[in-house]
Homo-oligomer: A and B are copies of this chain.
């Protein structure tokens, strides 16, 4: 593997898991950090193999026996519910774990939406490691808590009625992920295509298109192309995300 081309924080020799600690606040609150120690990563590397998927490739299918779980090094993966591509339940990024929530068999189907590099960890040997390594198990717990929060935020997004709120919230989500990974281009990179977005945020594809256009027309965002956009009017953007709900941000401490 060419070490230079990928995110430095995800490399350096072995699987990397980015998440927050559920119980103790880290140095940068709200910002996921590397959970695994160098030693853990090195040990995991001995049981892991590097696999690559090209854009659009299926990583596993729901219902298949769980042979391995994956840890993304680079690229983006979509996780779809059920055997069929019913609905996108999650986008997975570098530092994420893939194929966990199973019961002897994968419950979701995973597909690469960009070229993907990942570590493949066979469940059998991983399970043995886990049963002996309490710290590693703890880190898996941390990661699962993070995934759970992420999924809850997704549910929150889906609960909104207005298209603008959904799209803006989605963009904000992408932006925050990039900030967390220290890739602030000033603009937001959108790896997935419009139909994936539509699926994820629970709207029709035309509605997504329209919403992007409307926000651009109003000067809230600027779309350089289909995969790169930029927030021009940050205030208006945040206002849309807040969606009708009065801004209940910092201005509320011990009141209520």
Contacts from A to B (Cβ < 8 Å): 20-25, 29-30, 66, 81, 83-84, 86-87, 89-90, 100-105, 107-108, 123, 127, 130-135, 137-138, 140-141, 144-145, 147-149, 151-152, 154-156, 158-161, 202, 245, 248, 252
Given contacts A22-B66, A81-B156, 17 further A-B contacts (CB under 8 A): A22-B101, A23-B104, A25-B105, A29-B103, A81-B152, A86-B245, A89-B155, A90-B152, A101-B145, A102-B145, A130-B141, A131-B138, A151-B155, A158-B158, A158-B159, A160-B202, A161-B202
CB<8 Å pairs between A and B, sample of 9: A20-B103, A22-B103, A22-B104, A23-B123, A84-B248, A86-B245, A107-B149, A137-B138, A158-B202
Which single residue of chain B is at the shortest CB-CB distance from A66?
B23
Rounded to whole angstroms, the CA-CA distance of A148 and B21 in the bound complex is 17
Question: What is the distance, in angstroms, from A161's C-beta to the closest C-beta of chain B?
Answer: 8
For A202, list chain B residues within 8 Å (CB): 158-161
